[in-house]
Structure 1
Amino acid sequence: MVPVTGTRLALSHLNLTIKTEWYPWYADEEVGGWTEVYDQLTFASVREAGHEVSVGLLEGPMVFQSVVLKLIMSLLFFSLTITTVIATLPKQQELDRISALPGQPPVTFSQFSGYVTVNEQHGRALFYWLTEATSFPEKKPLVLWLNGGPGASSVAYGASEEIGPFRINQTGSSLYLNEYSWNREANLLFLESPAGVGFSYTNSSSNLKDSGDKQTAEDALVFLIRWVSRFPQYKHREFYVAGESYAGHYVPQLAEKIVEYNKALLQPIFNLKGFIVGNALIDEYYDFIGKIIYWWSHSMISDTSYRSILKKCNFKGVHKSQECDAVVRYVEAHEHGNINEHSIYTPLCMELLNNTMRSPSFKNTLLHRRASGGDTDAGVPVTGTRLSLSHLNLTVKTEWYPWYADDQVGGWTEVYNELTFASVRGAGHEVPQYQPQRAFILFKSFLAGKELPKS
């Protein structure tokens, strides 16, 4: 019913440091069970015991009574150790508190940032920035934000350009409040992931070469487990995972890990309610086809190049041929022009953000299932998302309709039993950057479990 395998699976994700390796322990010259001692806790199994260990054993021979007594003594020591650790948690949390960022306006919400080690052997540590809700943070859900890339910083993009509480002024010398920050509705946890992205790091260079989606998801789960130990007020809180772009891989894979982890626990600590992904990379085959269709349908490439790509590119192949690469490179160099591929109707402008993120004062201060898409993104276009969804054979709950923001069409949506698709009109790759109000309405509706407004 609640087998030891679940406990062991849960412990295996904590990456605990072994103090005494696995061995059988004894009671009256009989194997009482098996145990392994970590720096942080002790695991012990009790041989032949059922769900209620003491009841099952005390009904048996006297030898089992001594087994229970020894286990109780061990658990007493364990509970005293845990109590000591928990007593220090507020101090650890307080060490991560940010009093104020350089050039920051006065705010009513709390901020924290710091590192959580996810792998001691290789020295992998992930950096986070928590901006709590502007009102009643104790009652608001927790939302984890992951940027994609792979290699995009959640602090530089998600927090500073999209959904975070601050924006950078034109001189790059100060901050101002984001009117449509998502922390009006939730506590926002920005995670730099995987190790090597943004402020996150690893002491083993091989980690940077070997890192992949599997390790990224495992590290993110370990981060969350250890982070909620530092912030116990968020245990059992309504929890959502959100992200964009390559986070179309990160977000659902992490959500799956959380579900698996919860199943192994008698009392799960993560109250996962759902996830939301914007302009998501989902399936390479459909994403590539969708991109070419988008380029052609928005007059970004010639008929000749369009036909050439369809002829020379094997969309189902893992690697593109040289002929395919050549025609795609030609299109990007000679036909697209000097445009922002991720928002084809807006100019490039990155200097301001880069200067602020690189400033020593900024770095030193920090260091103390809804699918959506912007319809002007040609890099990860909405056509790819729609092609991917069309092959899932989802059951339509509410048929396609335009949704509204301030009496204007905010985009289009279709609701399925399993998920909701929504486009955001006039938005590029980073939807909240280009259409902050519409993105906020989408997010607020998602948290409330409501369909997008029809008027």
Structure 2
Amino acid sequence: MSSFLKLREGARITCMIVLVQILWFMTVNSFHVSDKIVRLPGQPKVRFQQFSGYITVDEKQDRALFYYLVEAEKDPLSKPLVLWLNGGPGCSSVGYGAFTEHGPFKVNGNHLIRNEYSWNKEANILYLESPAGVGFSYSANQSFYINVNDEIAARDSLTFLKRWFDKFPEYKSTDFYIAGESYGGHYVPQLAQLILNNSNVKLNLKGIAIGNPLLEFNSDFNSRGEYFWSHGLISDSTLQLANSLCNFSQYMREGLVLKGANFSTNCYLLAKQVSQEVINFIDEYDVIGNYCNSTVIQSQKIYRAFGILDKKETAAKYGDCIDIKASNYLNRKDVQKALHARLVGIADWKLCSKILNYDLRDLEIPTIHIMPSILKSGIRVLIYSGDQDSVIPLISTRSLVAGVAKELGLNTSIPYRAWFESKQVGGWVQVYGNALSYAAIRGASHATPITQPARSLVLFNSFLADKPLPADPY
């Protein structure tokens, strides 16, 4: 073959390769072009892409889950993908996670402003409203809402992921993480376990991270008494009552799980004393903060179950807080249109679902026992606490993580020490083996990015990079 023919043949092959690449790119993008957000109302200009919409998880029931994807600020396909799940159970990952905690924007009146501590600086963040009945996620067959539990939530989330990756195939080979907080202590490990146990699911799962997680009902809630007392929030007599007549896990069980039905005299007395000493004045999710965040109202369910607090009186205390701003924004029709969202069977969007009847008996499932199998599968685990949270105190969480390390025979690889952010102590950390970490964030609340956004971002980035937290202030 002449040199000319060889050059022409080479050029032809090159053109074919380029054409195939272009066709592949066009095909991939056509899968989700309808979900691309052109611009959110009041949004500043950004260079990263956003997508949102629905993934059907059950065609017969017409059940679909709503997602909001924020691509990384730079080189998204080279960055990991993180699925974020808020807790509740029944609270919105879009309203809380995206627009209140660590998303790219914060609501400021009728406008959005950039969040300088957004987690999409180093990752693509996929916010999922799960299960159906939360946020914009829905079931056309509303009988679904009558009895939802952990098993259903995990199963639907797995179906969502499989179909979402089919819609966004460019992310199939990227490193994948699952993160969440609070009741995410159930959602996150249960979903990870389902992925690992399902041979038909091929995801590049690398790690899970959970903040202030509910992991073991009795341990987590019994530690509240010690936490309250050590922070001067309850009297000696209240702690004595909790230690001798009605421990905090029983008081939570009667108030939340049993919803105040047939409650005991002792637990009623404890609830009354705690209400008088703590709940009327302190945000249990952030004991050093001014009470404002409407999640306080969510926490007062237990006291209303005992008939101690009046709903109207307590709700009137809280003003124009950051999560209320997010709720107002997401209830705007122009915002819903931009998000490709719709209200199905509900009049307005709620931060925490009013229609979902979640089986609260599942609160007592000890998900801490899932951690060993996840770690044995080679998945890294980070469990962290905001140290000003009294709802799931760090006292219990730290002990539970140490118990997992002991069960697996993991030696301490990084002894308990301070870590730093901007020349200040950001918190404390201990690492077991090469895969299990516990960290506390100093001055942080139940939702750590709200009160300590910079420190939360340092922790998040260190986890993704699999690097130790800064050990020196300089």
TM bucket (normalised to shorter chain) is: 0.7 to 0.9
Alpha-carbon deviation of 1:174? 0.2
1:305 pairs, out of 230, 238, 243, with 238
Residue 64 of structure 1: aligned partner: none
Q: 1:283-317 deviations in whole A, cap 9, x for unaligned?
A: 00111111111111111111111111112225676
Match of 1:357 in 2: 330
The 5-angstrom pairing of residues 2-151 of structure 1 reads 90-151=29-90
Q: Distance in 1 between matches of 2:106 and 2:115?
A: 6
Whether the 8 Å CA contact 2:242–2:248 is kept in 1: the answer is no
Partner in structure 2 of residue 227 of structure 1:
164
Deviates more, 1:116-125 or 1:350-359: 350-359
Q: How many matched pairs?
A: 366
The alpha-carbon deviation at position 209 of structure 1 amounts to 2.3
Listed as ranges, the matches of 1:326-405 within 5 Å are: 326-336=268-278, 337-347=280-290, 348-349=292-293, 350=321, 351-367=324-340, 369-392=381-404, 393=406, 394-405=410-421
Aligned to 1:138, the other structure's residue is in SS state: helix
Q: Which moved more, 1:280-289 or 1:353-362?
A: 353-362
Compute the displacement of 1:390 (Å). 3.5
User: So what's the TM-score if we normalise by structure 1?
Assistant: 0.77
SS of structure 2 residue aligned to 1:100: coil
Query: What CA deviation, in whole Å up to 9, does each residue of 1:341-370 have, x standing for no partner?
Result: 111122214332332222222222112510
Match of 2:152 in 1: 215
Pick one of 411, 421, 426 that aligns with 2:443. Answer: 426
Within the candidate set 196, 201, 205, 1:272 is matched to 205
Aligned to 1:15: none
Q: Could you tell me how far 1:338 is from its partner in structure 2?
A: 2.1
Counterpart pick for 2:423 among 374, 392, 407 = 407
The DSSP-based 3-state class of the residue aligned with 2:125 is strand
For 1:443, the aligned partner's letter is F
| TM-score of the superposed pair, with normalisation by structure 2 | 0.74
User: RMSD over aligned Cα, in angstroms?
Assistant: 2.1
Quote the Cα distance in structure 2 between the aligned partners of 1:113 and 1:157: 16
Asked if 1:293 corresponds to 2:226, the answer is: yes
Percent identity of the aligned residues? 44
- How far apart are the structure 1 equivalents of 2:243 and 2:141? 42
Query: What are structure 1's unaligned runs of at least 5 residues?
Result: 1-85
Matched ranges for 1:428-447 at <5 A? 428-447=445-464
Secondary structure of the 2:98 match is helix
SS in 1 for 2:207: strand
Higher strand share: 1
Q: For structure 1, which segment, 199-208 or 128-137, has the greater mean C-alpha deviation from structure 2 after superposition?
A: 199-208
Instruction: Tell me, yes or no, if the aligned pair for 1:155 and 1:191 is still in contact at 8 Å.
Output: yes
Return closer, same or farther for 1:120/1:324 CA change in 2, 3 Å cut-off: farther
Unaligned runs of 5+ in 2: 1-24, 255-262, 294-320, 342-380
Change (3 A) 1:137 1:204: same
User: Could you tell me whether the CA contact under 8 Å between 1:309 and 1:327 is conserved in 2?
Assistant: no
**Could you tell me which amino acid in structure 2 is paired with residue 176 of structure 1?**
I
Task: Please give the per-residue CA displacement for 1:206-254, whole angstroms capped at 9, x wherever unaligned.
Answer: 3212211111111000000000101010112100000000000100111
Shift of 1:205: 2.4
String of CA shifts for 1:83-107, please: whole Å, max 9, x gaps: xxx9865334000000000000000
Q: Which amino acid aligns with 2:430?
A: E
Query: Does residue 1:256 correspond to 2:189, yes or no?
Result: no
Partner of 1:283: 216
Query: 1:59: which partner in 2?
Result: none
State how far apart, in whole Å, the 1-side matches of 2:471 and 2:243 are. 38
Give the Cα separation in 2 of the matches to 1:316 and 1:330.
Answer: 15
Q: Which residue of 2 aligns with 1:325?
A: 267
- Give the match's secondary structure for 1:107: coil
Separation in structure 1 between the aligned mates of residue 266 and residue 170 of structure 2, nearest angstrom: 53
Q: Report which of the two structures shows the higher radius of gyration computed on alpha carbons.
A: 1
Q: Is the 8 A contact 1:341 1:377 kept in 2?
A: yes
Aligned to 2:123: 186
Deviation of the 1:118 alpha carbon: 0.5
Task: Work out whether residues 251 and 277 of structure 1, in 8 Å CA contact, stay in contact via their aligned partners in 2.
Answer: yes
Deviation at 1:119, TM superposition (A): 1.0
- Indicate yes or no: 2:470 matched with 1:453: yes
The answer for the alignment partner of 2:102 in structure 1 is 163
Tell me what 2:361 maps to: none
Displacement of 1:395 after TM fit?
3.1
The offset of 1:378, in angstroms, is 1.2
Give the aligned partner of residue 197 of structure 1. Answer: 134
Following superposition, the deviation at residue 388 of structure 1 comes to 2.0
